[in-house]
Chain A
């Protein structure tokens, strides 16, 4: 019965312990809706035929709904809606409360890929291995914009936000490969941000994991990714820096030149020539561009010209963004322990 309904309604297979719960309520709602909808349609059609103008020519009586009927108009649908709401909320609470013994996996969304990492080591891009019959808790975060982790066959969806953790859990019931999609619009390749959950029997999963741990063939792909880690605003900032001649005095690799290097500058405590120190935050950086002589860093000659009127507000924003991106080692917004990423065992 459920399988037939599932097929009629184009629902994908129900491959997690949550899926049948969601589907059951879905069937309840859809069947009620269709019964009432058919009722409304038939009533409308009947009226249309019976009371067609020209067919009945008598005076239309002026009628008003009696009070009990007005109450029924509100009461009957409301009780259905509240029932659905209550049943749904029960399942929702269940779906958002991971069991204590759940296995943890860290998930990071990034334009446009999903990265998975297990606490004890192996991690990979685009493929998540899990055993059947085990609750798996996903700790989601994002490197850039909002993404949403979605496995249709599990009826599971949860947003991955930058600077935050969200969690979601599922228990796969059947071995197989299930599609992971991104459900929150995240830019150019949103529709290609796919991954896969590979569900294995517990023994097969252990075998797989043992092999992963013993053959650390992981490679770092971070160096190559540096280029795309730079957001659009930061990239714009690099262009501005070159165009405005900032780089004639400031270096990007840590060597001091005519001016202080920009590497690691953002957030650094800078000693001032006038004594004291200042934290290189947005306010200070902006001030230094507009009025460079206000606070000169100790050890440098006061030679920088003012860029007041030469940099637009957007330029300043871009420059700051660029400077911020220049960290000796990039601090990830969320402090996940990110292991290296292994090759895709496809």
Chain B
């Protein structure tokens, strides 16, 4: 089972030490370094989005003006949404952990196009800078969805933001192409399609969506820009255009895009569930085919965002039906993960705590998705806080929990060090609790009839807003603690050893941190991934934190 070199002292310098100096990082073609650079920028974006989130919650503490005016509020939720969705969630797991791990998990030396990979990073940075500059200098107040005709009528300058998001989209497409090619051509001998690790399957499904859907987004952004600059009239009824056309095009991309955000997270969970219960997945096949199913059916459900927009009644029924099909794949995954825990040997660690949080939150997020996909119920819920709670449960609950699980699970792999486990578990509990306290009241607010994107609200909504803001401050506090102890562990954490979790994932066959070209000798993969035996007696699995 071991790779073809002996365990023990690393044979060469790690990717961190192979070359030194800032310049060597900025010009690297090493997928691991690119993944780390993505991670750094993404965390920065998350911080920015998070600060604005807290500002929004504080403003909503009382009706009327609390700390900012309505214009400032409208701009703030735009910054929050644009940054979180376009600059954090969509690239998050694939660009950072995906980049770092995909070649390792396939026994490859790098991705198929290393130079393109670096280009994709710089495109992302360029796009992010443009977007942010655009948002702040233009005072954009359209929300992350840029709905026309508001986005074409508002006096603010939207152009830099449209171009910025467009450029970020290019970065996404390039990463997707790179991953697809890598999976097809660079699997080490022995890794057949049905032996591809589940995280790689998830990245593969995600990449397909990215490559197929993102061009549509690019097109929509160009059309809005044309409308603004040249008065193209595509969405303007006064010139024969149709405001609903925008929504169709936008959601044709953005519904699949929500799966770009969540599929990689599901991949992380599939990996960690197996590792921490020391079990092979209850059904590898179900996980793989539901991933492919989501990637496919996800394209057919966009109309469920438009049940009250005036689309045809029949159309609404069809989209409702198709939405039910996509929900089923998530349900299948949840059951399979639970089945994997059954009679396992469960190690309650920080990543595992996030896994449990993930499953629970994904369940309620998914079920509330089904609920809003029920046409009559959506008459009440559409564009209220119920929807806000739904997509935060899914996106924060699932994508972010998975991101945190990944951050902790692969921390030793990336840095060769460990973090204080007790601290990690405690904080995970705090974060999950804070999360529920933040968003559960929002479901009820939606029931009560509080529309989203409100700077001001009638008095009767206040108690639930106070509860939500209180939860958000717990949540924010939790993230600060994570940042502190992980930052501390980067330097002072105990040395991890090659495989501190006793995981059977292929990536752990390499050193931690891995050497420059991943493996000192070509690895051999004699067994399927996630093929766990009983815990080893040789002390390889270290329980003490």
Contact = CB atoms under 8 A, between A and B. Distances in A.
A93 interface: yes
Interface string A5-32: 0000111100000100110011001100
Contacts of A244: none
A192 interface: yes
B451 A10 contact: no
A236 B229 CA distance: 13
Interface in A136-158: 144-146, 148, 150, 152-153, 155-158
A179 B229 contact: no
B124 to A, nearest CB: 28
Contacts of A54: 543
14 contacts: A37-B360, A53-B278, A53-B543, A74-B332, A77-B327, A77-B328, A81-B370, A85-B373, A88-B320, A145-B149, A164-B237, A188-B141, A317-B231, A333-B238
A199 interface: no
A69 B339 CA distance: 10
Q: Tell which of B278, B320, B347, B533 has the most Cβ of chain A within 10 Å.
A: B320
Given A33-B367, A157-B308, A10 B448 contact: yes
Given A51-B277, A65-B282, A163-B237, A190 B328 contact: no
Nearest to B376: A91
A70 B342 contact: no
Given A48-B346, A82-B324, A146-B147, A65 B339 contact: yes
Interface string B335-377: 1101101111111100000001001100110010011011111
Given A40-B338, A192-B456, A233-B155, A56 B345 contact: yes
Contacts of B347: 53
A62 B328 contact: no
A193 B225 CA distance: 28
Contacts of B133: none
The list of the 6 closest CB pairs from A to B, nearest first, reads: A163-B237, A152-B449, A59-B534, A232-B155, A88-B374, A91-B376
Interface in B283-329: 283-286, 307-310, 313, 316-317, 320-321, 323-325, 327-328
Q: Tell which of B348, B454, B533 has the most Cβ of chain A within 10 Å.
A: B454
B31 to A, nearest CB: 32
Contacts of A69: 339
B363 A37 contact: yes
Interface stretch (B36-44, B201-209, B260-268, B380-388): B380-388
A202 interface: no
A47 B150 contact: no
Nearest to A236: B155
A216 interface: no
Contacts of B141: 187-188
Given A47-B342, A188-B74, A65 B321 contact: no
Contacts of B230: 313, 317
Nearest to B374: A88
Contacts of B153: 144-145, 231-233
Interface string A120-147: 0000000000000000000000001110
Contact of B243 (A41, A161, A231): A161
A84 B368 CA distance: 12
Contacts of B376: 21-22, 25, 87-92, 95
Given A12-B449, A21-B376, A191-B456, 6 more contacts: A33-B371, A59-B534, A159-B310, A162-B243, A163-B236, A313-B229
A320 interface: yes
A65 B335 CA distance: 10
B154 A187 contact: yes
A40 B363 contact: yes
Contacts of A320: 231
B115 interface: no
Contacts of B327: 77, 81
Nearest to A179: B458
A242 interface: no
B282 A157 contact: no
A185 B383 CA distance: 9
Nearest to A44: B356
A22 B380 contact: yes
A52 B316 CA distance: 47
A137 B388 CA distance: 29
Nearest to A41: B360
A337 B364 CA distance: 47
Interface string B149-161: 1100111000000
Given A11-B447, A85-B321, A85-B373, A188 B338 contact: no
Nearest to A161: B243
Given A53-B345, A85-B321, A163 B238 contact: yes
Given A47-B342, A181-B451, A321 B364 contact: no
Contact of A161 (B244, B338, B363, B374): B244
Interface of B: 70-71, 74, 141-143, 147, 149-150, 153-155, 228-231, 236-238, 242-244, 277-280, 282-286, 307-310, 313, 316-317, 320-321, 323-325, 327-328, 331-332, 334-336, 338-339, 341-348, 356, 359-360, 363-364, 367, 370-371, 373-377, 379-380, 382-384, 444-445, 447-449, 451-458, 464, 531-535, 543
Contacts of B242: 163
Contacts of A95: 376, 379
A278 interface: no
Contact of B143 (A88, A90, A93, A185): A185
Contact of B382 (A37, A47, A145, A157): A157
Contacts of A74: 328, 331-332
A65 B336 contact: yes
A62 B373 CA distance: 38
A166 interface: yes
A4 interface: no
B155 A85 contact: no
Contacts of B313: 92-93, 96-97
A78 interface: yes
Contacts of B309: 159, 161, 166
Interface string A36-74: 110011011001100111101111111111000110011
A189 interface: yes
A229 interface: no
B379 A60 contact: no
Nearest to B246: A146
Interface string A266-283: 000000000000000010
B481 to A, nearest CB: 23
Given A37-B367, A60-B534, A78 B328 contact: yes
A184 interface: yes
Nearest to B318: A89
A97 B375 CA distance: 14
A345 to B, nearest CB: 21
Contact of B231 (A52, A158, A321): A321
Contact of B380 (A58, A146, A152): A152
A10 B447 contact: yes
